[in-house]
Structure 1
Amino acid sequence: MLAVIEKVEGGYVARYDRPLKHSVEKVWAALTENDKLAKWMSNLQVEELRKGGTIKFDMKDGSGSFIDMEILDFQEYSVLEYEWGKDRVRFELYPKPDGCLLVLKEFISTLTDHTSKDLSGWHVCMDVLSALLEGRYMEFPKGEWEKWHEKYKLAVKEMQIIEYDS
């Protein structure tokens, strides 16, 4: 299911809701433990897991360059929010009787040509994370990303039209 994109004060928010048949603790580990994180978002590495701490983004461009991203909000087993370029990303976990609900929000200040790429990337990363939690390792599926990218390009374009008409 496509993320819901909404206009909010100061920009936009894209929200992905993923019901998972796994405990909050297991999903939290996948979000915060580097050995598990590397299997679904290989660019990220947690340095200091606390509010004000750092997550490093490996550019993976052969330069050895990393971008330090500050952890803006942290509540163990519940909330992890950090910088994402000029924007921010927030993971929220809600316990449910049969597992948990993972909510991923990307707060976007301005819609750009890159927005649809980010959104389709997060969409596919959530699929890869779900597979990992099920015990299946999955390479990043470029073909799936391309399919979702087309859908997110349309969704972003619709938001831009709405904004223009307002």
Structure 2
Amino acid sequence: MTETLSSENGRTVLRMRRELRHPVEKVWRAITEPSQLAEWFPAAVELDLRLDGAIKFTFEQDPGAPVDEQSSGVIRAYEPPHVLEYTWGVEVLRWELVPNADGCTLHLTATYDDRAGSASFSGGWTLCFDALARVLGDTVPQQDYRELHEHFVKVFGLDQGVLTDDGGVRFERQLVQPKEAVWKLLTGAQTATAGSPPPAGFVAKGIEPGPVADAEEPVRLTYTWSGGEVTWAFRDGNGGARLVLTQTGPAADYLNPWRELIEALAR
């Protein structure tokens, strides 16, 4: 795979490349014509195909949703049949087609702010590229999104936590199951209630937990430890729950135990 992830001007930039055995003109139609986009792109697309033209994105599960800043965009570069760049909400997608002896090379550059979601985006676009290849007439085997997601987590180092300026620990990890399912995995047969010990699934190796200070299933659990607090927070992310785990206090020694626990949960 040819994916790279970088930070540029304070934003995250994902670059993906695919070699296609088809001429530029054929691939250009597949990435610009709504009828062909419908066969592989993650949303239905309506576009005014010109510089500064408007774009509307609609997801199948909510076709009646109003067009807002996150479901609309503007074409910023238009050089047929080689370059198409547009916004999708605050994200920027740039498609480039470069001819070669066997067909063409497709380059996608996606610029966005949600670095922790990069494995989801990479896995999703990989499946979209497979579908695009099928639209072009190629035979491409099915891939498992969950396996792709976890592959990109490792490739991009998205399983690594960070030490905060005050000596605490913070992890932000996209998961592939909804927060309700993740909560059940963490609690097991126990319940999470204020004043009681936290379920074992919420405790990293080496920590002696105090009682639960606050619990709201399935979005938040906080308990004390000798140096501060541990908080698990969940929200809906791209393709599953987004976990943000924080430990306040002198927590540097717990960076690896937390990583091991979270990766065991992800598996």
TM-score, normalised by the number of residues in structure 1: 0.82
TM-superposed CA distance for 1:73, in Å, is 1.2
- CA RMSD, 1 decimal: 2.6
- Work out whether residues 40 and 128 of structure 1, in 8 Å CA contact, stay in contact via their aligned partners in 2: yes
Spell out, residue by residue over 1:125-148, the C-alpha distance to the aligned partner (whole angstroms, 9 max, x if none): 01111121125699xx6x622211
- Work out whether residues 86 and 93 of structure 2, in 8 Å CA contact, stay in contact via their aligned partners in 1: yes
1:20 matched residue in structure 2: 20
Q: Which amino acid aligns with 1:84?
A: W
Q: Which amino acid aligns with 1:128?
A: A
* Partner SS for 1:126: helix
1:145 matched residue in structure 2: 145
2:3 matched residue in structure 1: 3
Count of aligned positions: 159
Query: What is the aligned counterpart of 2:124 among 106, 121, 126?
Result: 121
2:48 matched residue in structure 1: 48
Tell me, yes or no, if structure 1 residue 107 matches structure 2 residue 102.
no
Q: Which amino acid aligns with 1:75?
A: E
Gaps of 5+ in 1: none
TM-superposed CA distance for 1:154, in Å, is 2.7
Gaps of 5+ in 2: 165-267
1:91 and 1:159 mapped to 2: Cα distance?
A: 29
1:44 and 1:137 mapped to 2: Cα distance?
A: 22
TM-superposed CA distance for 1:11, in Å, is 1.7
* Partner SS for 1:18: strand
- Work out whether residues 52 and 70 of structure 1, in 8 Å CA contact, stay in contact via their aligned partners in 2: yes
The structure having more radius of gyration, on CA atoms, is 2
Q: Which has the higher contact order (CA 8 A, sep 6+)?
A: 1
TM-score, normalised by the number of residues in structure 2: 0.53
Looking at secondary structure, tell me which structure has more helix per residue: 1
